[in-house]
């Protein structure tokens, strides 16, 4: 056997300690192979039940259910912290979108650093760069868009450095703990592409945000989370002074005084049903164990890379993801000049759902909780055959694209 | 018959053209009487089905469902505009929370008015006052907290005036169209307590926000909406430059350029399931007709006021809501020095769910889609009997309170 032998993939599935978790998800799209769970994760079976229970509670307890619901953003944040963030209770809040949370924390951080540029790098997810550009302009700071994370960390006198833990294109994974230990800069981490895929150690980190609809499988547009190190919380104020961040919320007094803990980073009324879906997703990560998830993710991406080397190099592909497993998350990017028509053809002709990232990347996400090794093997074979036959040149590449 | 005769209430129900809409809601809490739908509306039966369909779509179409979902925030915004806002297509967006939307629009408005204070009045909902306080500080403006809306509109040189269309405490309804026509100030309306209860004419208004979990029945923490007059959109920029507000979102280019239309006020990824629930709620308002809803709301609040006058004046109550139907929304506030223990006792002893607003208001909300005249009558009788007997003095008034 070898990487190009399907039996090899079957054997990996047979020995996979997480194999049973696939049954925790609704898989209604076979024989399609879904490799875009890093854009939108699958529906966990328990989530439908959890949402139905939340809806039932709404209908029966009505406004009185808020006595319990009001605890959810911190409760689920604590569970998320314990499952895969290496953070302490009271340091994580489930709220708003990643974009809004990044806005809140970046603004707050600049209050502490009255001078210096806002720094990020070209690998930051677009919304991060856009948000920071707006904040820098509003606060009269320069925005430095460094070429690499290393270069971003080298910018002297930076007020704030914003880094993506896993690069949404290449899949490159930064050593968050080592960077945290070695830098003087205040770093705001975007964990959207690593949360639920690899263990994260925020124990010494200052600020982080991330999304829950990828590897946490909380559904389209599910609420995001934010993390603020306990020792920093009292020094930071959200620019969005909403009533859920107010100390005595229901006194409804005239002036704003931020709550003591992580709740001060709330804005408006939290989305209860969305948070219940986050809770269900976090529960699955807890049950599977983030270390086992990461170990399987490493093998899945290893398989992609092995098959790339065996089959795709001669078809014009180039690996855009680090070969060292310690330097990548749970997705792999393949560079090809025809990446866009290839991605379309995979969907339309080959029943494989990848993602495309401009200008030239086909991105394959392999969330460990439900992706099988044979899925990867079959998808790579279909990709090889598609490009070898030139069929991708016949698709309508003008089709609309949406993540 | 007369207002104090229950047959009078029964006759009103018998002649109610909206009576059948009660069956469109899950009413699982009888014999309790729910008069807090203006905090959290009931669950429409169709919403459970709509959410289930959204979950099903997530599980089967996965990321490809975004081809349709991406239209939802504007599509449902347009439906909301047509149902009860008097706004044109492309002027309303369903997104984020009321707090975040208010933050976005108030910030954007100040870009157009480089000098002058931010003005609101003491009747503004707390989150509005808190948000504006934060914005004023950040932008180096004064915040003027006027005593009344009229006084707020009289502040010379105001950069922005923020008003609540219906006062969350007293229920006082402002004449939005008349104020819009007569003021030079840029007004940002908070419609949270009027949307879905009374017709709103935004045709000449500049800016508005509002919530969907009260009279639109979209569920706890459901996404909010924002309105920007078409002619103003190109001049305003959201301070939160998120990727869903970007012109060519999936080009993922380096710099931010806001989208042309109302989409520029998006921030992060929209909450799909939440927006589907908003759509279901809007549909019910459309079917019932906002004018019929408002007409019934007027009769329901008339009945509360009539029974207050007949029964409650001698028990220490005072009406805190305008007597003129044209000057109030769909809730009534009763002032009493023991308002807090009375509200607790109504819940614990009388099976009536009101709301309490500090320091001294018992608030009764009567959403017309599902509130019966006999509900009002029975609740008022229980309230009378409770206070007449002094039973409210025996409850544990220290109990936690949450909206």
- CA-wise closest residue to A145 among A165, A161, A166, A157: A161
Grouped pLDDT means (10 residues each) for chain A, 403 residues = 89 98 95 96 97 97 97 98 98 98 98 95 93 96 96 96 97 97 95 98 97 98 98 97 89 86 97 98 98 98 98 96 97 98 96 95 98 98 97 78 49
Task: Give pLDDT tens digits for A252-285.
Answer: 777 899 999 999 999 999 999 999 999 999 999 9
- Closest chain B residue by Cα to residue A251: B358
What residues pair up with B156 in beta bridges, in sequence order?
A: none
**φ and ψ of B370, to 5 deg:** -135, 0
Residue B368 is classified by DSSP as: T
Is B271 in Cβ contact with A223 (below 8 Å)? Answer: yes
Is B270 in Cβ contact with A274 (below 8 Å)? Answer: no
- CA-wise closest residue to A126 among A190, A176, A205: A190
Residues of chain A contacting residue B252, judged by C-beta atoms under 8 Å apart: 126, 357-358
Q: Which residues of B76-86 are buried (b: 16+ CB within 10 A; e: fewer)?
A: bbbbbbebbbb
Choice among A103, A213, A225, A370 that is catalytic? A213
Task: Give pLDDT tens digits for B119-143.
Answer: 999 999 999 999 999 999 999 999 9
Gap between the Cα atoms of B68 and A296, Å rounded:
33
CA end-to-end span of chain A: 37
SS3 A27: coil
Residue B364 has pLDDT above 60, yes or no: yes
Is A51 in Cβ contact with B127 (below 8 Å)? Answer: no
| Helix H or strand E segment including A119 | strand A118-121
Q: How far lies A10's CA from each of A2, A4, A372, A382, B311, in Å?
A: 11, 12, 9, 17, 78
pLDDT of residue B403: 46
pLDDT of residue B398: 65
Contact, B12 vs B373, CB < 8 A? Answer: yes
Structure tokens at B292: 């019929």
Q: How far lies B350's CA from each of A378, B4, B387, B399, in Å?
A: 65, 19, 11, 16
Gap between the Cα atoms of A136 and A138, Å rounded:
6
Find tokens 């005249």 and name the residue.
B373
Residues of chain A contacting residue B145, judged by C-beta atoms under 8 Å apart: 254
Structure tokens at B335: 């002032």
Gap between the Cα atoms of B302 and B380, Å rounded:
12
Is A67 in Cβ contact with B402 (below 8 Å)? Answer: yes
Catalytic-residue membership of A167: no
Q: Could you give all domains of chain B from N- to C-terminal order, each with its CATH number?
A: 6-43+290-394 (3.90.1150.10), 70-288 (3.40.640.10)
Closest CB to B246 among A63, A98, A126: A126
SS3 B378: helix
Contact, B115 vs B140, CB < 8 A? Answer: no
Gap between the Cα atoms of A364 and A379, Å rounded:
9
- CA-wise closest residue to A403 among A96, A36, A62, A19: A36
**φ and ψ of B12, to 5 deg:** -65, -40
Choice among B168, B213, B215, B317 that is catalytic? B213
SS3 B69: helix
Gap between the Cα atoms of A329 and A167, Å rounded:
8
What distance in Å separates residue B72's CA from the closest CA in chain A? 12
Choice among A328, A335, A363, A384 that is catalytic? A363
pLDDT of residue A403: 46
- CA-wise closest residue to A162 among A94, A95, A209: A209
pLDDT of residue A399: 56
SS3 sequence of B104-118: HHHHHHHHHCCCCCE
pLDDT of residue B164: 98
- Beta-carbon contacts of A159 under 8 Å, excluding residues fewer than 6 positions away, are A109, A110, A113, A114, A115, A116, A117, A118, A141, A186
What distance in Å separates residue B57's CA from the closest CA in chain A? 10
Gap between the Cα atoms of B313 and B305, Å rounded:
10
Is A213 in Cβ contact with B99 (below 8 Å)? Answer: no
Task: Give pLDDT tens digits for B345-356.
Answer: 999 999 999 999
Gap between the Cα atoms of A197 and A213, Å rounded:
12
Structure tokens at B380: 């008022």
Find tokens 């079957």 and name the residue.
A10
pTM above 0.90, yes or no: yes
Structure tokens at A374: 């044979």
Number of H-type helices and E-type strands within chain B = 13, 13
Structure tokens at A201: 């150690």
What distance in Å separates residue B2's CA from the closest CA in chain A? 32
Q: What is the dihedral angle through the alpha carbons of A208, A212, A216, A221, rounded to the nearest 10 degrees?
A: -170
What distance in Å separates residue A147's CA from the closest CA in chain B? 12
Q: Which is it for strands A207-210 and A225-228: parallel, antiparallel or unpaired?
A: antiparallel
Residues of chain B contacting residue A220, judged by C-beta atoms under 8 Å apart: 58, 65-66, 69, 269, 271-273
Is A269 in Cβ contact with B273 (below 8 Å)? Answer: no
Catalytic-residue membership of B213: yes
Residue B256 has pLDDT above 70, yes or no: yes
SS3 A32: coil
Mutate to test the interface with B, among A269, A355, A401, A403 (most CBs of B within 10 A): A269
Structure tokens at B129: 């006052």
Is A243 in Cβ contact with B130 (below 8 Å)? Answer: yes
pLDDT of residue A401: 53
pLDDT of residue B400: 52
Task: Give pLDDT tens digits for B189-228.
Answer: 999 999 999 999 999 999 999 999 999 999 999 999 999 9
Structure tokens at A131: 């948000």
- CA-wise closest residue to B224 among A211, A226, A209, A96: A96
Gap between the Cα atoms of A318 and A337, Å rounded:
10
Q: How far lies A365's CA from each of A125, A163, A328, B179, in Å?
A: 16, 20, 12, 54
Contact, B268 vs B244, CB < 8 A? Answer: yes
Gap between the Cα atoms of B293 and B329, Å rounded:
11
- CA-wise closest residue to A100 among B272, B234, B265: B265
Please state the ipTM of this predicted complex.
0.96
Residues of chain A contacting residue B133, judged by C-beta atoms under 8 Å apart: 241, 255-256
Task: Give pLDDT tens digits for B312-323.
Answer: 999 999 999 999
Is A400 in Cβ contact with B252 (below 8 Å)? Answer: no
Catalytic-residue membership of B125: yes
Is B271 in Cβ contact with A222 (below 8 Å)? Answer: yes
pLDDT of residue A385: 97
Contact, A73 vs A273, CB < 8 A? Answer: no
- Beta-carbon contacts of A168 under 8 Å, excluding residues fewer than 6 positions away, are A123, A125, A192, A193, A357
Residue B344 has pLDDT above 70, yes or no: yes
Gap between the Cα atoms of B88 and B67, Å rounded:
24
Contact, A176 vs A144, CB < 8 A? Answer: no
Structure tokens at A295: 């170990």
Find tokens 């009378």 and name the residue.
B384
CA atoms within 13 A on the CB side of B297: 35
Closest CB to B243 among A42, A130, A223: A130
What residues pair up with B258 in beta bridges, in sequence order?
A: B246
Catalytic-residue membership of A244: no
- Closest chain A residue by Cα to residue B97: A268
**A372: how many CB neighbours lie within 10 A of its CB?**
18
SS3 sequence of A336-374: CCCHHHHHHHHHHHCCEECEEECCCEEEEECCCCCCCHH
Angle between helices B6-14 and B290-307 (to 10 degrees): 180
| Helix H or strand E segment including A355 | strand A355-357
Structure tokens at A169: 């294109």
């Amino acid at each position: 056997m070898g990487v190009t032998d399907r039996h090899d993939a079957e054997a990996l599935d047979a020995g996979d300690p997480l194999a049973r978790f696939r049954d925790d998800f609704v898989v209604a799209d076979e024989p399609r192979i879904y490799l875009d769970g890093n854009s939108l994760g699958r529906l966990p079976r328990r989530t439908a039940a959890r949402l139905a229970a939340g809806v039932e509670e709404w209908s029966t307890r009505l406004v009185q259910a808020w006595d319990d619901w009001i605890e959810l953003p911190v409760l689920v944040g604590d569970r998320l912290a314990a499952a895969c963030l290496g953070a302490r209770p009271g340091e994580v809040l489930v709220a708003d979108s990643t974009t809004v949370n990044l806005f809140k924390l970046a603004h707050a951080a600049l209050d502490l650093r009255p001078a210096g540029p806002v720094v990020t790098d070209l690998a930051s997810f677009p919304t991060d760069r856009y948000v920071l550009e707006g904040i820098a302009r509003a606060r009269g700071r320069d925005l430095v868009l460094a070429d690499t994370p290393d270069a971003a960390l080298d910018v002297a006198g930076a007020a704030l450095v914003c880094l993506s833990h896993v690069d949404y294109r290449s899949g490159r994974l930064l050593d968050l703990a080592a960077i945290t230990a070695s830098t003087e800069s205040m770093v705001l981490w975007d964990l959207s592409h690593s949360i639920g895929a690899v263990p994260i150690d925020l124990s010494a980190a200052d600020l982080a945000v991330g999304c829950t609809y990828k590897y946490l499988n909380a559904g389209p547009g599910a609420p995001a989370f934010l993390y603020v190190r306990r020792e920093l919380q009292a020094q930071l104020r959200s620019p969005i002074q909403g009533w859920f961040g107010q100390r005595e919320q229901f006194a409804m007094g005239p002036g704003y005084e931020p709550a003591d803990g992580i709740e001060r980073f709330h804005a408006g009324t939290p989305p209860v049903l969305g948070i219940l879906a986050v809770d269900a997703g976090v529960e699955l990560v807890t049950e599977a164990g983030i270390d086992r998830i990461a170990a399987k993710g490493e093998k899945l991406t290893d398989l992609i890379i092995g098959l790339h080397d065996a089959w795709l190099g001669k078809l014009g592909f180039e690996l855009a993801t680090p070969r060292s497993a310690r330097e990548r998350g749970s997705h792999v990017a393949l560079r090809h000049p025809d990446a866009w028509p290839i991605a379309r053809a995979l969907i339309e002709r080959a029943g494989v759902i990848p993602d495309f990232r401009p200008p030239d990347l086909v991105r394959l996400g392999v969330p460990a909780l439900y992706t099988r090794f044979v899925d990867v093997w079959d998808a790579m074979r279909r990709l090889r055959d598609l490009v070898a036959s030139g069929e991708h040149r016949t698709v309508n590449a003008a089709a609309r694209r949406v993540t």
